[in-house]
Each structure stands twice: as structure tokens, then as C-alpha cells.
A and B are shown apart, each in its own frame.
Chain A
Amino acid sequence: MTTATPVTTTPPLVADKLSASKIAKKRLSSPWASLAAIVLAVLWTLPTFGLLVSSFRPERAIKTTGWWTFFSNPTLTLDNYRGVFGEDGGVNLAAFFVNSLIICIPSVLIPLSLAALAAYAFAWMNFPGKNVLFLIVFSLQIVPLQVTLIPLLEIFVNVKLTGTFWTLWLSHSTFALPLAIYLLHNFMKEIPSGLIEAARVDGAGHVSIFFKVMLPLLTPALAAFGIFQFLWVWNDLLVALVFAGGGDEVAPITLQLANLSGTRGTAWQLLSAGAFVSIIVPVTVFLLLQRYFVRGLLAGSVKG
């Protein structure tokens, strides 16, 4: 991905950047920093690790002994995972998996694009009511999902969209907007006005500026929000249940995993395996989008 900046870097800065990052690497690989980071990482992962271990233990062991005893007394089983995939060996799960993907992709792309436009307007344009509107938009984050269920479902029933993916795409996009606009607005404001001015001087209109200046510099922000939106839609159950009904045609994978523990929640050991099956995709997305966190947002574009 190329960073398209209309402003050129001055050569000496580039050379110095190299030595600076060398120094930085040396500095940050100080043993204390590494130790602190490792301690934090271990603490954070410990609970999840417990679940991972439990997912390979038989039901009886899970219910009577702690997961750490696995190391002194290992009893391994794949039963929990088999329970997740069901008797047909995962064919059914594959269909739900497809549903989840189909729900997620537009639900990420649509709000991202709409929010980018709106955030640009809030960040770089002047118009009456700008501040008030912005406050309203980001305050809307407080509206709990549950109060929108019945009003929105009534509307969807009236326009006969229930049971289709459209209800999910529309709802997920709407719910994502306040946070998306708020986040993107913040990153957009960080872009130095000098760049915008220079582009305007070159005769670029808003559309041009948006695509040639803003978007490339916004990539880490877009990636950051993209990760979370994907994650939240992927793990969502409530919106799918309410707006798409319970039909198998639109049910996401979360429904299957939630139902795993059985009608009265007796088989909760299956949840441990189910959780890990469900994690794979969001973590993959996270890792794939990490590359957009590597480059500097304003790499070499600062003018004194």
C-alpha cells in the first residue's frame, strides 16, 4: 500500500529516521520493558488458557477438578469438539459459517464508508450546527440495543423485510455509526491542515482530497475500527435473533454455539470448545489487519 502524500520528505530526515528507529529498537528491548510486557501478556492470557485446556478435558474432569491439574494428570479427549461439530461432521456448521460471513461483510463495509464520509464532514468542513450534530451523533452510543428491538422490528415487519439479511445489514450498520464516526473523526483531525491546504491550493475538491489525501493516511484507523466492527458483528447474537428470526437460512454461527449448552444449560463443557471454534475468524482478521498498524500515519509528511 502506497502512502500518497503530496508533500515530499526532505532527504536528511529519511536518513535520520533509520538511525532513530535503530535506537528505538535498542531502547525498547530493554529487559524491564520486555519483562513487564511478558507479565501482562501472561496474566491476560491465563484465563483463556484455562478454557483452552478445559476444552480438551472430559466432562467429568471439568466438573470435579481444576484445569491446572491437567498437567499432573492429563486426560485428553476430543469429545467436546465433536459435540460442537455435531453428528454430521460440520456440514451444518459450515452453512451457519457462511451466514455469519454474509452478515459480517456488508455490516463492516457499509458503516465504515458512511462514517468516513460523515467524519470528514465533521472534521474538515464548516457548516451551521456542526458541533451540536456531532455531540448528538456520538452521544447516541448510549442508546442500549434492547430499546431499539421492538420499534425497528415493527418497521421491518411493515416493509416486509423480516427473515432476510437486509434487516441485519441495516441494523448493524446503524448501530455502528456513532462509534465509527467518533473514532474516525478523531483520527482525521490528527491529519495536519497543511496537507489539506496544499491539496486545495493544487485545485483539489472535497472528493479528491477525501480519496487522495485522507483515506491513505487513515488506513490504521480504518483497520482498527474494521477489526472491532467485524468482531462485534461476528459475535453478535441478539440482533440476529430479533431481526432475522430464528430461521436457519439467516442464522449466524453464534446461534449454534449459544445453543450448544443444551436446553437447560447442562452441557456447558461444550461451550469451552465452541468458544475456540468461534474465536478463529476474529483473531485471523485481527492478525491480517495488523500490517496496517505498522506504518506511521504521517510518515515523513510533517513540514517543520
Chain B
Amino acid sequence: MFNTASTTPEKILQMLAALLLFAAVMGVILFIAGRFGGKKGDRIVAYLYLLPVMLLLAVGLVYPGLRTIYQSFFDAAGDAFIGLDNYGTIFTDPDQLTVLRNTVFWVVLTPFVATAIGLVYAILVDKSRFESFAKTMIFLPMSISFVAASVIWKFMYEYRPDQGNVKQIGLINQVIVWLGGKPVQLLIESPLNTFLLIIVMIWIQAGFAMTILSAAIKAIPDDIIEAARLDGVNAWSMFRKITLPSVQPTVVVVLTTIGIGTLKVFDIVRTMTGGNFNTSVVANEFYRQTFNADNQGLGAALATLLFLLVIPIVWYNIRSLRQSEAR
């Protein structure tokens, strides 16, 4: 059962075996948990429920994370201890300041714009007749792989010169030409290129925001809405006073998730500009040092920098949690 399965029936059997095994493990946990009641029992049940999760996370994420931080104090090959040298490199290299600046743009713009669009759209199509179809349109970009997305946006941003028989193959430059202008090499102009890349990320993430917020909007009890309607509020007030406060915790969750996801994403930068022309972000530098330049220490230091950059997001969450608990 733990060997490589080669025929389709074998594979299906292996999958079913895995699911059954998992169900058995769950069953055992729930059975044991069912034996404990009362306040004291709460603790044991909680730890039981958390046990499989903690095990998997410890091995799969915490251990690699700690190992990475440890590696960041060593040199490129991972042999010699060099203390904080890698961090020194990160903060003294002039290009890195641009990288940090870009990363800030990404992490600030993407969550807020994507969430705003997702929320507004979810409200607009809520309870309408074509809701499923409408939501699918915004969801589509999320279901496309990054490789395909980069081909899609190549057809948007591509540049061809305005000479002779040469035609534009990028939509934006075509529009510029139709409006009488000269085509622009969009991906070379900094910082315009960073914003154009951010647009791709927003385009993708809006679907995520919309889906989660749609679920949250559905959760708003109908009687609250009805009562407000009877009081005669208009759409804008409804949004500000009822909808927004009700989904606020979910908005925090969506902002946080998109923010963290944006910190980690390098595929867009890597495939569209390779990090050149001042478009690189910390995650791209991490990938570059680890896999292209084979500098394990510096790559690990950049990953650790990512870990540190998540702290403001975590802090924001703690604050929101405290505020909502106070309400």
C-alpha cells in the first residue's frame, strides 16, 4: 500500500485506503474526546483536537522554518558560520532598497484593492439572478495557473514598435495607438512596471476576496437587513452601517490572507520581468539567491526577512481581534 501504484485501479484503491486510514484516526480521536466532559475535560479535548494538526505543522512547517533561520547565519554553501553577514548584505546593497520599496507597494496595494473590489462585487451580485455566473467571471483568474496568467498578460502588456507593417500584439499598446499615441515599453518603465505587475496580482486575488466575502455576506441574518429596510435606509447607509460591520472580521481575514500570500508570491515577477528593471520583490530575491545563485545562506536570510515582514500583519490581526472582543 505504501509503494508506487502503477495502474488506475491500484491508485484508486490506495486513495480509498488512505481516506479510510484517515477516517479511522479521526474516529479514534473523536471517540477518546467523547469520553471527557465538563470544564476540566475541555482542556484535554482541545489538545486532542489539536494533536494531529500540531504534529503535521511541527514537522512540515515549523521545523523547516527554524532550519531556514538557522541557515541564514551561514555562508553560501552552508558550511561556515558568518553571523549576521547575510543580513548586512541585504540592507547595504542599494538594489535591495528598491526591492523593499517594491515589496511594500505590493503588500499595501494588493490586499486593499483586491478586497475592495471583491467585497463590492459580492454585494452587487448578491441575490441577483445570474449570481453564480457573475461570480465565476471574477473567479476565473484564480483558477488559471501562474504560467497561463503570464501568457495572458503578455498579450496585454506586449510592445511592438510603431514602424512599417509591424502590428501591436499587446492590447494596452494597441489602445494607446488607437488613441493616437506611440506604443510604450510598459515593462521597462519603473515604477510603472511594478504597478502593472501588481494589477495582475489584484486581478487574480479579487476572486478569492469575493468568494470568502460572499460567504460572509450570506451569513448576515436576513431579519437585520429587513429591519433596516423597514427603517428606510438607502444602499450606501446599508453598506456602511449594516453590511460592513457584519463582515468586518472576515474582511480582516481576507486582507491578512491576501497580504501574506502577496509577500510570498514571486511567480509573476519572475516570469514577466525576471526581477529586472527594478521590479524585484523580497520573495523573488529569495528564490533567486536560493536557486539561481546557489547562495543558501543569503536565500535563507531573505526568507527570514519574509518571516519578519509578516509581523505587522499579525499585529494588525491581534488588534482587530481585541477590538472585536471588546465590542
Contacts and interface: CB of A to CB of B under 8 A. Distances in A.
Given A66-B169, A143-B64, A155-B59, A17 B222 contact: yes
Nearest to A41: B137
B154 to A, nearest CB: 8
Given A228-B211, A275-B145, A290-B135, A165 B257 contact: no
Interface string B191-232: 000000000000100101001101110111111111001000
B152 A51 contact: yes
A256 interface: no
Contact of A166 (B18, B62, B65, B250): B18
Interface string B25-68: 01001100110010000110111011011101101111111011
Given A66-B168, A127-B46, A47 B155 contact: yes
Interface string B298-315: 001001001101100010
The SS class assigned to the A binding surface is helix
A145 B237 CA distance: 43
Contacts of B136: 283, 286-287
A19 B222 CA distance: 11
A254 B145 CA distance: 9
A234 B87 CA distance: 37
A247 to B, nearest CB: 7
Contact of B45 (A24, A169, A206, A274): A206
A11 B151 CA distance: 55
A286 to B, nearest CB: 6
Nearest to A103: B15
Contact of A102 (B12, B46, B61): B12
B33 A206 contact: yes
Contacts of B109: none
B85 interface: no
B185 interface: no
Interface residues of A, number: 133
A178 B264 CA distance: 15
B57 A140 contact: yes
Interface residues on B, range: 35 or more
Given A142-B264, A147-B65, A287-B136, A36 B124 contact: yes
Interface of B: 2-6, 8, 11-12, 14-15, 18-19, 22, 26, 29-30, 33-34, 37, 42-43, 45-47, 49-50, 52-54, 56-57, 59-65, 67-68, 117, 120-121, 124-128, 131-132, 134-145, 147-148, 151-153, 155-156, 167-171, 174, 203, 206, 208, 211-212, 214-216, 218-226, 229, 235, 249-250, 253, 256-257, 260-261, 263-264, 283, 286-287, 290-291, 300, 303, 306-307, 309-310, 314, 317-318
15 contacts: A41-B138, A48-B141, A98-B8, A127-B43, A133-B54, A139-B314, A146-B303, A147-B64, A151-B64, A163-B4, A190-B249, A223-B215, A272-B148, A297-B215, A302-B224
Given A47-B155, A51-B151, A152-B60, 19 more contacts: A23-B229, A24-B127, A47-B152, A47-B153, A51-B155, A109-B22, A148-B64, A161-B2, A163-B4, A164-B2, A166-B2, A178-B61, A189-B249, A206-B33, A207-B30, A224-B211, A272-B151, A278-B145, A302-B224
